[in-house]
Amino acid sequence: MSDNKEIAKQVIAAVGGNENIDSVAHCATRLRIMVKDESKIDKNEVEDIEKVKGAFYNSGQFQIIFGTGTVNKIYEEVIGLGASEGSTSQMKEESKKQGNVFQRMIRTFGDVFVPIIPVLVATGLFMGLRGLLTQEQVLAFFGMVPTDISPNFLLYTQVLTDTAFAFLPALVAWSSFKVFGGSPIIGIVLGLMLVNPALPNAYEVAGGTADPITMFGFIPVVGYQGTVLPAFIAGFVGAKLERFIRKYVPETLDLLITPFMTLLIMSILSLFAIGPVFHSLEEVVLDATVWLLGLPFGLAGLVIGALNQLIVVTGIHHLFNFLEIQLLANTGVNPYNGIITASVAAQGGASLAVAMKTKSKKLKALAYPSTLSAFLGITEPAVFGVNLRYVKPFLFALVGGGAGGFFGDLVGLEATGMSVTVIPGTLLYLNDQILLYILGNVIAIAVAFTLTYLFGYTDKMREETEARKDV
């Protein structure tokens, strides 16, 4: 087995040498290389390197999938061999120049929402644990009933589960300011203004227990708890405004005037214009999403489950983040998760079938870890390293995802959080749905595995694929 230093040497050589590398960075699973001349990359040579699970060119970057843990070590060796170190933010700046308008918009959307997902994941897990600890069956096991739970403990669990969504606009505005070049601290304060306790609470207004404030006789003003779009637009406009003001303010007065004017103007715009308009638009999007998920006979689950990983390959899957956040913030549950989980599990099932059927030790060494990665919620190694290489496993995995998504939609799976799937995702279904959740995953895996094993892969396909690469 090659050591990581040797693998790093092979990677550098396959992308055209250090002289063709502008900068190198990495994310959780991928080594991301900015190159000067794409034509100098030998993609086939890269894919033949040990530990490489797939490679592709996207968003102005050549991305090599190594998987979690491994990518960090390879990155260190690549940098140690003289490649230029680059930050992920620098790469984003370069990649912004790549792709059409729609692709750039989707990337920007992802840049805003991805950083806040970890706290929403944690919140979802807290909700799941809270549901578990307050279930009568669980309490009965310890000889307790719901009334035995301390009110103070319940209050503490409420703090854990409600804080992130109560102050969601602050998180979104902070991230938007950061992405669009403003001061994140101004973004936080602006976001907090949108949920100031002095304003009527959005949830209470929706429940009919409070009335909005009417400004200027016709503008209804409420707090924007749990909203996404108003904070996103406010962050975008606010960051651009801050940069505009800073251009014309003398440096000696910048500290006083720039934040003062930015917050003054943006508080007026956000509360009286952006908030009412985009909150109304957000409600339309939410209603459309709920309508889609409410289609009869599991149709939404069938379609989304089948197409999700295809959408992931295209790179526009960040749109789902917005919809999931919306659902959680406004309804407290996330029906998307169960459907999307099925699509993830199915890719693992197809990869497992390839691993068990092939006689190639090299492919087994790639497919088995890729399967495990998919079952832990990360599909890139399975998709790019195994299934897409032979096409049919990927297509049969889409069928499995559709079958599992259909079942999940049919039985009404509703997660308490987002962004964790398959095995880790079980913690989101401690709301009396865990058995249904597991069954949905089993269906997705079984369908994808069976179809791939019977019809989707042979070693002859592998030999033909390798022969094409050698041509």
* Last residue in a domain, options 76, 98, 120: 98
Residue 13 sits in the same domain as residue 60: yes
Q: Where are the alpha helices (DSSP H) in 412-458?
A: 422-425, 434-451
Dist CA 316 CA 102 (whole Å): 9
Closest CA to 74 of 42, 30, 23, 21: 30
Give the mean pLDDT of 330-345: 92
Residues 77-100 pLDDT 10s:
999 998 877 655 555 555 555 556
* pLDDT: which is higher, 87 or 355: 355
Q: What pLDDT does 463 receive? A: 83
Residue 253 sits in the same domain as residue 183: yes
What is the SS3 assignment for 147?
A: helix
Asked whether residue 92 is domain-assigned, the answer is yes
Give the mean pLDDT of 278-304: 88
Q: What pLDDT does 471 receive? A: 47
Residue 225 sits in the same domain as residue 311: no
* Last residue in a domain, options 264, 293, 322: 293
Q: What is the pTM of this model?
A: 0.75
Give the mean pLDDT of 369-398: 90
Least confident of 113-117, 319-323, 464-468: 464-468
Residues 26-76 pLDDT 10s:
876 789 898 888 889 998 899 889 888 888 887 668 989 887 778 889 999
**CB within 8 Å of 146: residues ≥ 6 apart:** 134, 136, 139
Residue 352 sits in the same domain as residue 460: yes
27 given a catalytic annotation: yes
Dist CA 346 CA 406 (whole Å): 13
What DSSP line would sit under 207-257, residue for residue?
Answer: HTSS--EEETTTEEE---TT-SHHHHHHHHHHHHHHHHHHHHS-GGGHHHH
Range of the domain at 314: 296-470
- Give me the number of domains the chain comprises: 3
Catalytic residue among 27, 122, 411, 436: 27
* Last residue in a domain, options 271, 293, 315: 293
Dist CA 460 CA 298 (whole Å): 37
Q: What pLDDT does 56 receive? A: 84
Residue 171 sits in the same domain as residue 226: yes
Residue 226 sits in the same domain as residue 374: no
**Mean pLDDT score across all residues of the chain:** 87
Residue 432 sits in the same domain as residue 337: yes
